[in-house]
Amino acid sequence: MTVDADAPVATTGNGRTVCVTGAGGFIASWLVKLLLEKGYSVKGTVRNPDDPKNAHLKAMDGAAERLTLCKADLLDYEALREAISGCEGVFHTASPVTDDPEQMVEPAVRGTRYVINAAADAGTVRRLVFTSSIGAVTMDPNRGPDVVVDESCWSDLEFCKNTKNWYCYGKAVAEQAAWEMAKERGMELAVVNPVLVMGPLLQPQVNASIAHVLKYLDGSVKRYTNAVQAYVDVRDVAEAHLRVYEADSAAGQRFICAERVLHREDVVRILGKLFPEYPVPNKCSDEVNPRKKPYNFSNQRLRDLGVQFRPVSQSLYDTVKSLQEKGHLLVIPEQLY
């Protein structure tokens, strides 16, 4: 199926209430903004509704009338149940983003089970969209170099454990738990698997994936690594979530959300060209091994739903501009470089 990319999203949210977990996060903030723009009423879970870091949510257009912030930790089933009650959809984006196994695995996995159980218990939820990760897809040392990474791929849990990649391990186990629990409880589930997410920030603090870009601009790293990574813009990730929620055909499917795979050398080259005033590294930390090759992937499923991915260079540009505007990166006057 191919959808006209210029067509508006098929349905509007008028009169419909959805829950977004971890509403103050980088991706979730853009999702809440988009849902409000589409006319949805949103119940957003945050750990502390009065924390100034969530003020940007309350300031969004439509928030005064249609956004309710609900206090909920992922390990608090009752609070999640309360937040999800009365909703027709749930976007489960909240997750720790860390490689510390104790902080990562338990909240990611148990929290996901709680959210699906709470959604099933609510009796009103039509569909749940879970934000997984490419980390649940690509971590497989036995994948051949010519394999196109698509939604049929799963990370190898033993490999994640052995390489102490606890974030990918936690996301993969959480996604598995989501599929199992949804089946057990008869819930309609769809999963978005974003790659590294960049783009402008709505929230005041720098999240992990934005720190990945910031470190190449603020002088905190002197060399780039010999590694490849796929990238996508946060606005496209938010739109992917909405389209996956609204499209009937999306039920029961995973969706790889990626624009391009780049070597770190490409990332620093783009940044250095766009922003020559910053000390962007131009040397690789690995002068021995051959340059890592990008993997092939397919984002066809989301393109079929009408998502048009912004080019990664645009996204990098907007990331840096946003970091400057939010005061995370010094603006260097032109005469000084």
Ligand X SMILES: NC(=O)c1ccc[n+]([C@@H]2O[C@H](COP(=O)([O-])OP(=O)(O)OC[C@H]3O[C@@H](n4cnc5c(N)ncnc54)[C@H](OP(=O)(O)O)[C@@H]3O)[C@@H](O)[C@H]2O)c1
Nearer to ligand X among residue 94 and residue 139 (C-beta): 94
Between 47 and 126, CB nearer to ligand X: 47
Is residue 212 within 8 A of residue 204, CB to CB? The reply is: no
Q: How many C-beta atoms surround the C-beta of residue 170 within 10 A?
A: 29
68 strand-pairing partners: 43
From the CB of residue 149, how many other CB atoms can be counted at a distance below 10 Å? 22
Of 24 and 200, CB closest to ligand X: 24
Question: Which position among 33, 38, 58, 171 bears the catalytic label?
Answer: 171
Q: Which is nearer to ligand X, 39 or 176 (CB)?
A: 176
> What is the contact surface with ligand X in residues (CB under 6 A)?
22, 24-28, 47, 73-74, 93-97, 107, 131, 133, 171, 194, 196-197, 207, 209
Least spacing, CB of residue 50 vs ligand X, in Å: 12
Q: Label residue 195 left, alpha or beta by phi (over 0 means left) and psi (-120 to 50 means alpha).
A: beta
Q: What is the dihedral of CA 320, 321, 325, 326, to 10 degrees?
A: -30
- CA distance linking residue 233 with residue 195, whole number of Å: 9
CA–CA gap between residue 235 and residue 230 (Å, rounded): 16
What strands lie across the sheet with 260-263, from one edge to the other?
196-198, 228-233, 260-263
Q: How far is the CB of 63 from ligand X (least distance, A)?
A: 16
**Nearer of residues 47 and 56 to ligand X, judged by Cβ:** 47
- The 3-state DSSP class for residue 69 equals strand
- Whether 164 is catalytic: no
Structure tokens at 305: 């739903």
CB closest to ligand X, residue no: 25
Shortest distance, position 38 Cβ to ligand X, whole Å: 19
**Hey, which residues are catalytic here?**
171
